[in-house]
Chains A and B, each alone.
Chain A
Amino acid sequence: MPRILGRRLLSAAVTLFGASLAVFAVLDVLPGNAAAILLGTAARPDTMAAMAHQLGLDRPAYLRYGSWIAGAVSGDLGYSAAYGVPVRGLILERLAVTLPLAAIALTLAVSIGVTLGVLAAGRAHRWPDRAASTAAQLGMAVPDFWIGIMLILVFSTTLRWFSAGGFGGWDDPAAGVRSLLLPAVALALPQAAVLSRVTRAAVLEVLTEDFIRTARAKGVSAGRVLWRHALPVAIMPVLTIVGLQVSFLIAGAVLVETVFNLPGLGRLAYQALAQRDLVVMRSVAFLFAALVIGVNMLVDLAQPWLDPRLRRG
């Protein structure tokens, strides 16, 4: 067990290092003169040189990379040229929107997806299964940001139950959650569709196993077999897919935060591009990559603890 843990941690660390190199190459080395990008090519050469010095661009690339990583470890991510504030504070402020948004969306997606999947597996090839499959096919095809626009159309523009976007901060927690609700639903529905299909397939596979036949022979009710015997085993592949879906959740957050005008991390990355603020962008892009790598590692490591057969065996 410790050997598997060690190997998994090492491989995640190597991937993380590669991701940081990729981000640095694309956003720092390849663009060439970041001072020219910020000031425009018409800037006077001495202004350009002063800016380059201020940004540390007169130092070689490996030193710049080193100080970025060293800074990241100590919590100093540099200074945003566009906002005139430290990048660290900017990211923390935006995380306070994006993390709760992702958490609500993930909770919704897992509860809707797993429930639908188990119900469909319990009545496989009959009408509830057909209905759930059709719903899942449609859910997977519809873009999350369009669901967002449609939710605004129905619940804000027409019914006026919710505001059409924006975020007032966490001073009033109820209002905060309320403004994240529609965007979270938009993010959750396509994910729920994917998860319901995976859950259905996983539960159907578990239902063919011997311990299920034993449970049925002992007279355990159909519902209990499904939810208490089959689901805990079937949740493993579902969890793996949840890990893989994090990448789509992040991509969705960039779009849905734009649709709902939420001051989140995805929107920050988008604004940083518009403002040519590459210092902000590299840290946000790396944070996103680190999230994908980290979540998938955790999912892998959690497998042995969650599988009831491995736990007791």
Chain B
Amino acid sequence: MRRVTAWRSGLLPGALITGTFVGIAILSRIWTPEPPTRMRIALRLKPPLASGLAGTDALGHDIVSLLMAGAWNSLTIAGASIALALIVGVLLGTTAAAMRGWLGQTLMRVADLLFAFPALVSGLMIAALIGPGAGTAILAIAVFAVPVFARVSYSAAVTVWARDFCLAATMAGQSRFGITRDHILPNIAGTLAVQAAVQLGLAILVEAGLSFLGLSLPPPAPSWGRMLNEAQTYLGQAPWMAIAPGLAIALAVLGFNLLGDGLRDRLDPRRTF
């Protein structure tokens, strides 16, 4: 087995990019170069450096400030949806592994069922029901991430259940719930951390797509996806409006993907890709 350094495995660059992203998101709550929602019609469609580092949009919003505030919205929606999916998915997966039999199989089939709905499709369906907004985006992303966490925690939990210490705990009379809490969860936590990082990256991509279609946070809340939607109208005049948000999304996703790869090397050596 080749030893991989923290830099090569992606752990370090991933942690750096993700850390910067989270830092900028938090910073945007207390400081941005301009108030992100302030319109300055006199400064509309200014190229980068003519007004601010990244220029302005069609209403004279400062793009750097919009990107910073957008980072917060992207991160909180992605974080909330993955937290929700993690809780529901792990509950499904570990319960199925503890129960086995038809009940366990039924729980896993429910997870399969959710998987049949692409995130954008469940986003459209949920928006038809409760209208667009942060809640719709969080639910739609969770619907698609729940089966992932359910499957990963199920297969990881099944292998832990086969270990001798679980047999010993069963012989000692510990309940299946107790064994799950004391032995299964600590042993699958690493695998789940890897998956959470990867899914956070995907969640940011999906949120950008949902807000591009206007299904996520409504205006005037700054959002990377909606910035891209508005940019398409001015593509010929102001290409910078389209370039900057795309780079921001790609960088944020890259950070979480690298972090996931690096963590996998550390915590979950069984998987090869």
Query: Residues of A at under 8 Å CB distance from B?
Result: 11, 14-15, 18-19, 22-23, 26-27, 30-31, 125, 137-138, 140-143, 145-146, 149-150, 152-153, 157, 164, 197-198, 200-202, 204-205, 247-248, 250-251, 254-255, 258-259, 266, 269-270, 273, 276, 278, 281, 285, 288-290, 292-293
Contacts and interface: CB of A to CB of B under 8 A. Distances in A.
A25 to B, nearest CB: 10
A135 B153 CA distance: 30
A198 B272 CA distance: 9
Contacts of B273: 197-198, 200-202
A269 B242 contact: no
Contacts of A293: 116
12 contacts: A26-B129, A31-B128, A141-B251, A143-B246, A146-B208, A149-B232, A150-B242, A251-B209, A254-B120, A254-B121, A270-B213, A292-B117
A255 B209 contact: yes
Contact of A285 (B113, B124, B236, B254): B124
Contacts of A140: 253, 257
Given A142-B246, A146-B242, 10 more contacts: A14-B109, A26-B126, A31-B128, A141-B257, A143-B205, A149-B235, A201-B273, A254-B120, A289-B116, A289-B121
A30 B139 CA distance: 16
Nearest to B198: A140
B206 interface: yes
B245 to A, nearest CB: 8
Nearest to B13: A137
A153 B213 contact: no
B2 interface: yes
Nearest to A190: B205
B246 A149 contact: yes
Nearest to A200: B273
Given A137-B258, A143-B208, A23 B125 contact: yes
B27 interface: no
A247 B128 contact: no
A247 B118 contact: yes
A15 B117 CA distance: 11
B115 A157 contact: no
A260 to B, nearest CB: 10
B55 interface: no
Contacts of B110: 18
B117 A281 contact: no
Given A150-B242, A201-B273, A19 B113 contact: yes
B7 to A, nearest CB: 13
A148 to B, nearest CB: 9
A141 B239 contact: no
B112 interface: yes
Interface string B200-244: 010001101100110000000000000010011001100100110
B2 A146 contact: no
Given A15-B112, A26-B126, A149 B249 contact: no
B107 interface: no
Contacts of B118: 247-248, 250-251, 254, 288, 292
Given A15-B116, A125-B2, A30 B129 contact: yes
Given A18-B109, A152-B235, A251 B121 contact: yes
A145 B129 contact: no
B127 interface: yes
Given A141-B201, A141-B250, A247-B115, A285 B206 contact: no
A269 B124 contact: yes
Given A273-B124, A289-B117, A138 B254 contact: yes
Nearest to A198: B273
Nearest to A261: B232
A46 to B, nearest CB: 26
Contacts of A150: 242-243, 246
B45 to A, nearest CB: 15
Contacts of A152: 232, 235
A202 to B, nearest CB: 8
A55 B10 CA distance: 56
B107 to A, nearest CB: 13
A309 to B, nearest CB: 19
Nearest to B126: A26
Q: Output the residue of B120, B201, B251 with the most chain A CB within 10 A.
A: B120
A30 B127 CA distance: 12
A247 B116 CA distance: 7
Interface in B99-116: 109-110, 112-113, 115-116
Given A31-B128, A255-B212, A258-B213, A250 B251 contact: no
Contact of B120 (A30, A125, A251): A251
B228 A149 contact: yes
Contacts of A278: 128
B119 interface: yes
A22 B239 contact: no
A225 B254 CA distance: 34
Interface string B179-206: 0000000000000000000000100011
B113 A15 contact: yes
